[in-house]
Structure 1
């Protein structure tokens, strides 16, 4: 399976799960927004940074483009899955939420994958041990 497809689908599911979990907690405790949103964003950023950092550290080639494609896939898929998750587990979110999820929501998710992945790739490549040559 293509690397970008795996990364994109996994991150779409992670984003949808976090979005659904956040909506579920907010429905039960509206005052939780002060700590909930930063925690959710931190978790999402950490997943992308660590995974891309491992790619960079392992020296995989062309992973900038892989992460770009993964972000483009994760955006709309994560948005749609988030709406489905909220509709099934939290409230009566319906089809009316889809246009926002596949436009603005998708763009936000794509950026929330792409930017931390770029940082992770940079850190991973910088931390990679250099090969020594004994001549």
Structure 2
């Protein structure tokens, strides 16, 4: 996810540098793509019932925030303009938080929707559930036969 965010950031920055006016539609489309990628990927994880997927997506959001900040600063410096290490502090604070939220919020939605995508699987799960366990009695069984 960090690479996807960094690539989109560098492409948008390059297109803004080439044509500084009229890029609001491009920015909206790029945000929609980033949100869509996270939501669909998380929905697939939920549909496939990947174990511990919630924790994995929280970690992915944190790593994406920091990783995309570093990679996008590096990419902008190499391919777009003379962005240097001085911009890394801003990217690691505001940019990283924004990127993390762009992963975490749609992923949460995807994790909610994903398991509900296959109604046949949910109907079949009810038959495979084990019988509920009985609650143990607070009194021990009588061994004398009373």
Q: What TM-score do you get using the length of structure 1 for normalisation? A: 0.87
Equivalent-residue separation in structure 1 for 2:22 and 2:80 (angstroms): 16
Provide the residue aligned with 2:45 in structure 1: 55
Q: Does 1:127 align with 2:112?
A: no
Q: CA deviation at 1:126?
A: 1.9
Residue 17 of structure 1 aligns with which residue?
7
Contact 1:20–1:90 (CA<8 Å) still a contact in 2?
yes
Mapped to 1, the partners of 2:18 and 2:34 lie a distance apart of 22
**What is the aligned counterpart of 2:93 among 83, 97, 103?**
103
Aligned to 2:143: none
Q: Is 1:87 matched with 2:77?
A: yes
Structure holding more helix per residue = 1
CA RMSD of aligned residues (A): 1.3
Query: Which residue in 2 is equivalent to 1:31?
Result: 21
- 1:113 is aligned to 103
C-alpha separation in 2, matches of 1:31 and 1:48 = 29
Whether 1:70 and 2:53 are equivalent positions in the alignment is no
**1:32: Cα distance to partner?**
3.1
Report the number of matched residues: 124
Unmatched 5+ residue regions in structure 1?
A: 1-10
Unaligned runs of 5+ in 2: 129-146
TM-score w.r.t. the length of structure 2 is 0.81
Matches of 1:34 and 1:109, distance apart in 2? 18
Counterpart in 2 of 1:4?
none
Q: Which has the larger radius of gyration?
A: 2
